A and B are shown apart, each in its own frame.
Chain A
Amino acid sequence: MRTAVVALTLAVLALAPVRAAHAQISFDARRLGMGGVSLGRDGNASRYNPAYRAVKNRSGLGTGSPKVTIPIPIGLYSFFRDHPINQLTHDPAFNPDSAGFNPVELLNLVLNPPIFLDIRKPPAPTNDVEFTIGKNQLIMNLGQTRVLIPDQSFGLGTSGRLLDLGAGFGAFHVSVMGFVNYDVRFTLDSALRSVLKDSVPVRADSSYFILTEAIAQTGLSPTVSYAARLWHPAALEPTAGAANGAPNPNADDGVYFGAAGHYYFGATYGRGVGPAGFTVGSPIFGVSPSVLFDGVVHTSNKPNGRGIGADVGLAWITGPFEVGVGANDIGAQLTWSDTKVQRILYDPNGDSISTTLLANHVASTTKLPISYIANASLRMGTGTTVGGDVFNAGRGTVIHLGAEQRSGPLALRGGVARDQRKKLQFGFGGGLRFGAFALDVGVWTSSSTLADKRAMTMATSISVY
C-alpha cells in the first residue's frame, strides 16, 4: 500500500508536464492549418454561442463548413511501419524488459495518438539524473529535466456536454443534455519544488508533498433555448442583390440572439482536497520515509444535485463581417442535498489507509465553470478570409488567429495560436477542391508533450460539401 501511494504521488509529480491541449485536438486539416481557428460556423462557435443556432451554416460559400470531414490517418502508416503489428509484443517501445523501453515515450504516444503524421516528433528527454546519498543527505539533480518541474499549479480537466437530444419549434428548442465536469489540479509545495528544480538538499524531519484538488460531477440537464435573428436589414430576400439567381451572400445579415436555461439534475459528484507526499526522518537514510496522505473527500449519497444555469450569446453578421460572443453555464451552481464528508488518512504504522466519516447527510454546493467564446471573421472579397477566436472552457484561455486565401480550387491557409500554456503555436496548410469534395492538408505545432518542446504534425482530411 505504501509503495502504491508513494508511486502514485510521485508519478503525478513526474508527469507534471502532461497538460491537456483540448483546443488543439481536431480532425479537420483546414482548421489545423489555420492554427486552430474555424472560419465557418461550426466547431466552438456553434457549441458555445447559442445565437448560432439561428444562423445558417455557410456551406457552399467556399469558406463555409463542410457537411462531413473525414480524417486520413496517415500517421498510422508511419507508426506501424516503425512498430510492426505482429511484433508489438517484442517491440522495445512497449516491452518494459527491454533496455530500449522508455516510459516517457510511451506516455507521449498515449497523449499524442499517431493519427496524423509527425513531421518533427516531440523529443523524448534524454538526460542523466544524479542522486547524492548520505546517511543524512539526499540531493537530486534532475539535469535538463528540471525544466519540466512546473512552477505553478498543473492538472487537467474539462467541462463538456455529452449529448443534446431534443426538438425545436420556431425559435425555441427543448432538449435534454448530459453534462460532465472534472478538474484535477496539483500544486507542489515550495520545499518539494526546490528539491526537484533547484537541487536543494532534502532536509531531515521534513515533509514533501503535492497538494491535490479534484472535483468530478455529472448529470442531466433539461434545457429550453431560444435563438432568433432579432434584426436584419430590410428586404433581404434570399436571392436579392445576387446575379443570375445565385444565393444572396448577404442573406444571413443581421443580429442574432440566443439564450438557454438549464435545470441541472446532478447524478453524482465527488470532490477531494489534501496533500500527498512523504516525510523523511532523521537521519534521512536512517529510517524509511513515511507516506503523507491526508485528504478530505466529499461524495454524493444520492443523485440529487439540483441547480440552474444559463447560456447566452450574440452574433452580428453584416456582409463579409461576422462577430459573435457567447457564454455557457452562467451561474451554474448545484446544491447536493445529501452528501458525506470523509477523511482519508494513510496510517504509516499499519501501512494502511483509514477512512473516517466526518459528516453525513449534509448539503454541499458545486459550480460548473463558465465557458466563453468570442469569434470574428472577415471575408475580404478577394478570396481571402481572416478570422479568430478567444476561447476558454474553464482551463485557461486559448486564442486562435487564422487566414485562408482561395484561388479557384486552391486554398492556402495559415494561422497562429496561443495555447493554454500561453505558448505560441503555428499552423499552415492548403487544400484542393474538386466539386463537392476537397482534400486538405494542415501542419501545426504543439507543445502538449512531456518534452516541453514544439512538435510538428501534419494532418490530412477529405471534406464533403
Chain B
Amino acid sequence: MKARAAVFLVLVAACGQGKAIFNVDVYSFMAGTGKDKISYAIPPLGSGSAATFQKVQLPPGFGSSIVDSVRITIGSADLMNTGGAGQLGFSFFFAADSAGTLSAASALDVPATSVSGNNTVPVTISGDLSPAIHSLFTKDSLWMRVVATGTNSGATPLTGTGVLTALVIRVVLQDKIL
C-alpha cells in the first residue's frame, strides 16, 4: 500500500499544478465475485429491495486533497427478469465502512425501469454523486452499497437478477497531496 501510494504521490507531484483524475473501474473488482449480481424476488403487489456491497480501493495519500467532483461516467446493468412485471431502480450508497452504507443517504438514484416476463432489459447508470460524500474519496478506501429497489404491479412474483456490466467512477481532485 505504501509503495503504491509513493508511486501516485510522486507522479502527481511531479506534474505540478493541475488536477489529478482517477477513473476507478469498480466493476473490475466486482466481476466474477458474485458481488456484481443482485437477485430479487418481490411478492405480488408489493415492493422490496436487495443489495450488494463492495469495498473500493483508492490511491492513498490524498487525504488533504479537495474533491472537485465524483461521477459515474460509465455504468450499465442488465435486468435479467425471469418472471412477473414491475419496476426496478438502483441506488448507490457510500460510507467509510460497510455498516455506514446502511444509514448513509443515497448518493445517486437511477430511475426505475420497467421489466416484465422473461426478458433482459439494459439500464444505463450515470450521474454525479452527491457532494455530501465527496470527502470519502480522499481516503484510501470506502464502501459502496448498491441497492436494487423494485415494485411489483402484477399478480405474480417479480423475480430475476440485476447484473452490473460496467461501473467506472471518475474522481477529480485538486492534488493537494502532501
> Residues on A close to B: CB < 8 A?
2-3, 6-7, 10-11, 13-15, 96-97, 99, 101-105, 124-137, 140, 142-143, 145, 148, 196, 278, 285, 288-291, 450
Q: Which residues of A contact B12 (CB under 8 A)?
A: 129
Q: Which residues of B contact A15 (CB under 8 A)?
A: 14
Closest-by-CB residue of A relative to B12 is A129
Beyond A3-B6, A6-B7, whether A135 also contacts B25 by CB under 8 A is: yes
Measured in the bound complex, the distance between the Cα atoms of B24 and A128 in whole Å is: 16
Check if A145 sits within 8 Å of B3, measured CB to CB: no
Beyond A7-B10, A136-B28, whether A124 also contacts B20 by CB under 8 A is: no
Measured in the bound complex, the distance between the Cα atoms of B57 and A196 in whole Å is: 22
Check if A2 sits within 8 Å of B2, measured CB to CB: yes
Check if A104 sits within 8 Å of B66, measured CB to CB: no
Distance in Å from the Cβ of B87 to the closest Cβ of chain A?
Answer: 31
Distance in Å from the Cβ of B33 to the closest Cβ of chain A?
Answer: 10
Measured in the bound complex, the distance between the Cα atoms of B10 and A278 in whole Å is: 14
A-B Cβ contacts below 8 A, count: 122
Beyond A129-B15, A142-B15, A145-B16, 9 additional pairs, beta carbon < 8 A = A3-B3, A127-B16, A128-B21, A130-B23, A134-B29, A148-B14, A278-B3, A288-B4, A290-B3
Check if B15 sits within 8 Å of A99, measured CB to CB: no
Q: Which residues of B contact A104 (CB under 8 A)?
A: 13-16
Say what secondary structure dominates the interface of chain B: mixed
Q: Which residues of B contact A142 (CB under 8 A)?
A: 11, 15
Distance in Å from the Cβ of A350 to the closest Cβ of chain B?
Answer: 14
Closest-by-CB residue of B relative to A279 is B3
A-B contact pairs, 16 of them (CB 8 A): A7-B10, A14-B14, A97-B64, A102-B16, A103-B178, A104-B15, A131-B22, A132-B22, A132-B23, A134-B28, A135-B31, A143-B15, A196-B11, A285-B29, A285-B57, A289-B4
Say what secondary structure dominates the interface of chain A: mixed
Q: Which residues of B contact A134 (CB under 8 A)?
A: 24-25, 28-29
Distance in Å from the Cβ of B117 to the closest Cβ of chain A?
Answer: 35
Distance in Å from the Cβ of A276 to the closest Cβ of chain B?
Answer: 12
Distance in Å from the Cβ of A101 to the closest Cβ of chain B?
Answer: 7
Check if B16 sits within 8 Å of A131, measured CB to CB: no
Distance in Å from the Cβ of A345 to the closest Cβ of chain B?
Answer: 16
Measured in the bound complex, the distance between the Cα atoms of B1 and A3 in whole Å is: 9
Check if B8 sits within 8 Å of A131, measured CB to CB: yes
Q: Which residues of B contact A6 (CB under 8 A)?
A: 2-3, 6-7
Beyond A14-B13, A15-B14, A288-B1, whether A131 also contacts B20 by CB under 8 A is: yes
Q: Which residues of A contact B29 (CB under 8 A)?
A: 134-135, 285
Q: How many residues of B contact A (CB 8 A)?
A: 36
Measured in the bound complex, the distance between the Cα atoms of B57 and A99 in whole Å is: 25
Beyond A10-B11, A14-B10, A99-B174, whether A127 also contacts B2 by CB under 8 A is: no
> Residues on B close to A: CB < 8 A?
1-25, 28-29, 31, 57, 59, 64, 66, 174-176, 178
Q: Which residues of A contact B16 (CB under 8 A)?
A: 102-105, 124-127, 145, 450
Closest-by-CB residue of B relative to A140 is B11
Q: Which residues of A contact B2 (CB under 8 A)?
A: 2-3, 6, 288
Distance in Å from the Cβ of A196 to the closest Cβ of chain B?
Answer: 8
Check if A99 sits within 8 Å of B11, measured CB to CB: no
Check if A10 sits within 8 Å of B23, measured CB to CB: no
Check if B17 sits within 8 Å of A124, measured CB to CB: yes
Q: Which residues of B contact A136 (CB under 8 A)?
A: 28
Distance in Å from the Cβ of A290 to the closest Cβ of chain B?
Answer: 7
Measured in the bound complex, the distance between the Cα atoms of B18 and A143 in whole Å is: 10
Distance in Å from the Cβ of B165 to the closest Cβ of chain A?
Answer: 14
Q: Which residues of B contact A3 (CB under 8 A)?
A: 2-3, 5-6
Q: Which residues of A contact B18 (CB under 8 A)?
A: 125-129, 143
Measured in the bound complex, the distance between the Cα atoms of B4 and A315 in whole Å is: 58
Q: Which residues of B contact A14 (CB under 8 A)?
A: 10-11, 13-14
Q: Which of B1, B3, B11 has the most CB of A within 10 A?
A: B3
Measured in the bound complex, the distance between the Cα atoms of B174 and A129 in whole Å is: 11
Q: Which residues of A contact B21 (CB under 8 A)?
A: 128-131
Q: Which residues of B contact A148 (CB under 8 A)?
A: 14
Measured in the bound complex, the distance between the Cα atoms of B10 and A15 in whole Å is: 9
Check if A127 sits within 8 Å of B15, measured CB to CB: yes
Check if A133 sits within 8 Å of B24, measured CB to CB: yes
Contact of A137 among B9, B10, B25 (CB under 8 A): B25
Check if B22 sits within 8 Å of A10, measured CB to CB: no
Measured in the bound complex, the distance between the Cα atoms of B95 and A312 in whole Å is: 74
Measured in the bound complex, the distance between the Cα atoms of B66 and A137 in whole Å is: 25
Beyond A135-B25, A136-B28, whether A289 also contacts B15 by CB under 8 A is: no
Check if B15 sits within 8 Å of A103, measured CB to CB: no
Check if B25 sits within 8 Å of A132, measured CB to CB: yes
Beyond A10-B6, A99-B176, A288-B4, whether A145 also contacts B15 by CB under 8 A is: yes
Q: Which residues of B contact A133 (CB under 8 A)?
A: 22-25, 59
Closest-by-CB residue of B relative to A139 is B23
Measured in the bound complex, the distance between the Cα atoms of B21 and A128 in whole Å is: 7
Q: Which residues of B contact A125 (CB under 8 A)?
A: 15-18
Closest-by-CB residue of B relative to A291 is B3
Q: Which residues of A contact B8 (CB under 8 A)?
A: 131
